[in-house]
Structures are given as C-alpha cells and as structure tokens.
C-alpha cells in the first residue's frame, strides 16, 4: 500500500535539495533569467556534487538516472519499494521551488539522460555514463503527436544515417549529446520510431540557432539539423527490431518515466508561488484560516485555499505515478494524469498569484511574474495538456490511438 508521507530514508536528501534551491538556485534565478543564453557556471559545482552523491549511493538514486526501473520491485518479504523514481520527483520538486530553468540547465541531469536511463541496455548505460544528454523529439511539422516524426534513420552497414530537423531541444546548445527520435520506416508508423544517442561533434549534426523564449530563459533551447549524420548502430537505444505488436512501447516507456518528473517541476514551481503569495497576503492583513468555511473568508483567502487544494491534488498524483514506477506497476495512465493536472495547476496558480499580489506580482520586486512565465512550458513539453487528456481518455475507455484521435 502506498504511503504518501516522505519516506524517512529520503528526508535528509530532500532537505539537502531544498537547501541547494534556497541558497544557490533562487538567489541566481533573476540574474540568469535576464542574461538569456549565459551559462550558469555555479551549476558545475552542483552537478559534480550530485554525481558524487550518486556514485556514493547517498543520493538515494535521485537525478536523471533515478527513473531507471529494475525487475522485481518487491523485496523478499513482500514489502513495496519507495525507490529512486519517488526520490527523483521529491528532489525535483525542491529544486524547482528554487528555479525551473536552472534545474533544466544542470549538466548530466537533462531529460535526455532520463531517456537513456529508461530504455538503454546495461552496456549502453555504462558507456553513456557521465554524458550530458538533451532530448530531441519535436519537429517543425510534428509537435505533440510524436508518432508523426519525420526524421529518418537508415541503416547503412554498422551505422545509421540520420536526416531531419529538431526544434525546441532543451540544453541543445550546451549538452554533450542529444537523444534523437527518428523513424526506421515511415510506412510502418509509430512502431518504427527509435531513439539514438548522437554526440555533438558528429559530422552532419548542426546546432542552427538558440531560441529566445517566454520562460525558463536560463535554459538554452536549440534547433538542430541532421544531414546524412552517421551514428554507430550501437547508439540505438533498446532493440532495433520493429515490432508492430508492441508499437510505441519504447517511446511510451520513456514518457512514463519522464512525465512524472515534469509534473514534479510544476508542483515545485507552484508551491513557490503559493508560499510567497501567502506571505504577501499576511503582510497586507489577509490571513488564511483553515478552521473557517471558505465562504466566510476574504475573497483573496478563499482563492488561495482553492489553489492550495488544486496543488495538493497535483502533488499526490505525481507521487502516485512515481511510486507505481518504483513498484513495477504500469503507470501510463497515472503519469499522464499527473502531468496534465500538475501542468494546468502550475499555470493557473502562478498566474492567479500574480493577480492576488497586484502590482508587486507583476513587477520584478518578486519572482512571481517569472514563475508565471516559467510555468507555461511545464504544460507543454513532454506532451501538451491536450495530448495528456487524450491519453487518459484512451486508457479509461480502452480505446486505441486509431479508435480515439
């Protein structure tokens, strides 16, 4: 049975993550938001510390590699696990309480690293250890529908030749490699989509430009072109066989692991906004009273209580999705529910907090306006709100993607 209290074995680690967020990420948040595309050098030391914690085993398996699932989740005595997936989402919540963009800028902690951890073989996991990997999915003609990917990978001897263009690649200008999603055969459909680790110095791979963005401005976002880019066949993650029966399984396995992480980012950002807003309301003489009915409280306090209830739902859904992954339970439905709820809640809460704070919320005196800008991407990447709702509907109704579009 799931216990939604923070497991005792994670508490010290989560406390460390909160200290890092409070003392390093949030104090540098505004600086790197204004200095778009400037690399936050402070993160080198932080990334080295995370690497050290992971190597020593004291990091509780958190970080990008923490989403890797292992067979046999239950212990010999039949007890369930509170494992690395749960540890990862809890630590990500704390870090994004500090700053979402800076977390996304951390070396070796990108979504591409989570993709490697999700589907790589043990040999590939060792070979790509220490590599900072971005995630290259979205294309100019393919946004939320990942099954419509047009980038191709053609086997030529012991290499794949990749051709195509990827946009909105998080950390695409700074990372060591990108995990590129490409199709082996367009006629087969989604079953032919595979992911490849492509290093930045590979001939035929070009970073075309860095995007200027509404939010997460401290994290660079790149457009990358592949022209006859030759990649070793050994860099294909997972199996090269096209299995129409399994269809999109490899891709969905990645999403099932990374969507709870994005939900955790949204939960952390929203919590930061709630805490600052409650402090500002208190300074203005508006107190939130949990012992009084909501209709007997000031409008601002009533609005705050509604937001807090929504936040709690997103938080619990995120924990559930991660816990299920730790215990080898299928969590596609729960991962999409968590991502959909948390993404929407973060958008709603951060914007309403700006409104409640008035002129202070709209100005740069507080970080509320920045969090409102940052939160929008959390409802978009790793599958938009609309795509998550579609996935949830398919799962609940027992429909295939062909039956419910």
Residue matched to tokens 């800008």: 373
Q: The pTM is what?
A: 0.93
Distances in whole angstroms, Cα of residue 77 to Cα of each of 8, 73, 81, 84: 19, 11, 11, 19
Residue matched to tokens 């979402």: 100
* 257 Cβ contact list (under 8 Å, min separation 6): 67, 68, 69, 85, 114, 117, 118, 325, 335
Closest CA to 134 of 45, 58, 210, 243: 210
DSSP secondary structure of 120-172: --HHHHHHTTT--EEEE--BTTBSS-GGG---EEEEETTEEEEEEEEEEEETT
Q: What is the pLDDT of residue 218?
A: 96
Is 131-235's fold the same as 249-397's? no
CA angle 180, 182, 183 (to 5 degrees): 165
Cβ 378 vs Cβ 343: under 8 Å: yes
Burial class (CB in 10 A: 0-12, 13-18, 19+), 209: middle
Q: What's the topology of domain 8-126?
A: Butyryl-Coa Dehydrogenase, subunit A; domain 1 (1.10.540)
44 CA to centre of own chain: 20
Question: How many other C-beta atoms lie within 10 A of the C-beta of residue 289?
Answer: 12
Q: What dotted CATH number matches 249-397? A: 1.20.140.10
Q: Find out if CATH 2.40.110.10 is the number for domain 131-235.
A: yes
CA angle 393, 396, 400 (to 5 degrees): 65
Task: Per-residue pLDDT tens, the chain, 405 aa: give them.
Answer: 677 788 888 999 899 999 999 999 999 999 999 999 999 999 999 888 877 766 666 655 556 666 776 554 444 456 778 888 999 999 999 999 999 999 999 998 888 998 898 889 999 999 999 999 999 999 998 877 777 899 999 999 999 999 999 999 999 999 999 999 999 998 888 889 999 999 999 999 999 999 999 999 999 999 999 999 999 999 999 888 887 655 555 667 788 989 999 999 999 999 999 999 999 999 999 999 999 999 999 999 999 999 999 999 999 999 999 999 999 899 999 999 999 999 999 999 999 999 999 999 999 999 999 999 999 999 999 889 999 999 999 999 999 888 998
CA–CA separation, 14 vs 86, rounded Å? 11
* 86 Cβ contact list (under 8 Å, min separation 6): 7, 10, 319, 322, 323, 326
190 CA to centre of own chain: 22
Q: 47-79 as b/e, with b when 16 or more CB fall inside 10 Å?
A: beebbebbeeeebbbbbbbbbbbeeeeeeeeee
Among this protein's residues, is 382 annotated catalytic?
A: yes
The 3-state DSSP class for residue 3 equals coil
Count of positions (residues) in the chain: 405
Give 329-360 pLDDT, tens digit per residue.
Answer: 999 999 999 999 999 999 999 999 999 999 99
Residue extents of the structural domains in the chain:
8-126, 131-235, 249-397
Q: What is the pLDDT of residue 255?
A: 87
Q: Which of 227, 287, 382, 403 is catalytic?
A: 382
């Amino acid at each position: 049975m799931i216990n939604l209290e923070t497991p005792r074995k994670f508490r010290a680690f989560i406390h460390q993550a909160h200290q890092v967020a409070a003392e390093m990420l949030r104090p540098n948040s505004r600086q790197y938001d204004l200095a778009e595309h400037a690399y936050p050098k402070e993160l080198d030391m932080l990334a080295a510390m995370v690497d050290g914690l992971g190597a020593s085993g004291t990091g509780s398996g958190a970080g990008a590699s923490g989403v890797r699932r292992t067979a046999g989740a239950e212990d010999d005595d039949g007890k369930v696990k509170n494992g690395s997936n749960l540890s990862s989402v809890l630590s990500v919540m704390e870090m994004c309480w500090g700053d979402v963009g800076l977390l996304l800028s951390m070396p070796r902690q990108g979504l591409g690293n989570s993709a490697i951890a999700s589907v790589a073989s043990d040999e590939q996991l060792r070979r790509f250890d220490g590599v900072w990997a971005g995630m290259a999915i979205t294309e100019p003609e393919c946004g939320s529908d990942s099954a419509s990917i047009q980038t191709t990978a053609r086997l030529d001897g012991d290499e794949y030749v990749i051709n195509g263009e990827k946009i909105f690649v998080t950390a695409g200008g700074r990372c060591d490699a990108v995990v590129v999603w490409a199709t082996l055969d367009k006629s087969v459909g989604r079953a032919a989509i595979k992911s490849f680790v492509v290093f930045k110095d590979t001939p035929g791979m070009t970073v075309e430009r860095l995007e200027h963005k509404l939010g997460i401005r401290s994290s660079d976002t790149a457009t990358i072109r592949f022209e006859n880019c030759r990649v070793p066949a050994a860099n294909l993650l997972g199996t090269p066989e096209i299995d129409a029966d399994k269809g999109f399984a490899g891709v969905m396995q990645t999403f099932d692991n990374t969507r709870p992480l994005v939900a955790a980012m949204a939960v952390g950002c929203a919590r930061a906004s709630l805490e600052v807003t409650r402090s500002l309301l208190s300074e203005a003489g508006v107190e939130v009273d949990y012992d009084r009915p909501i209709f007997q409280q000031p409008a601002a306090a009533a609005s705050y209580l509604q937001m807090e209830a929504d936040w709690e739902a997103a938080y619990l859904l995120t924990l559930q999705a991660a816990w299920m992954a730790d215990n080898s339970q299928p969590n596609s439905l729960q991962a999409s529910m968590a991502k959909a709820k948390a993404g929407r809640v973060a958008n709603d809460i951060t914007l309403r907090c700006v409104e409640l704070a008035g002129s202070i919320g709209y100005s740069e005196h507080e970080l509320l306006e920045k969090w409102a800008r940052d939160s929008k991407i959390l409802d978009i990447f790793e599958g938009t709100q609309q795509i998550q709702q579609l996935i949830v509907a398919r799962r609940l109704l027992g429909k295939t993607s062909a039956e419910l579009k």
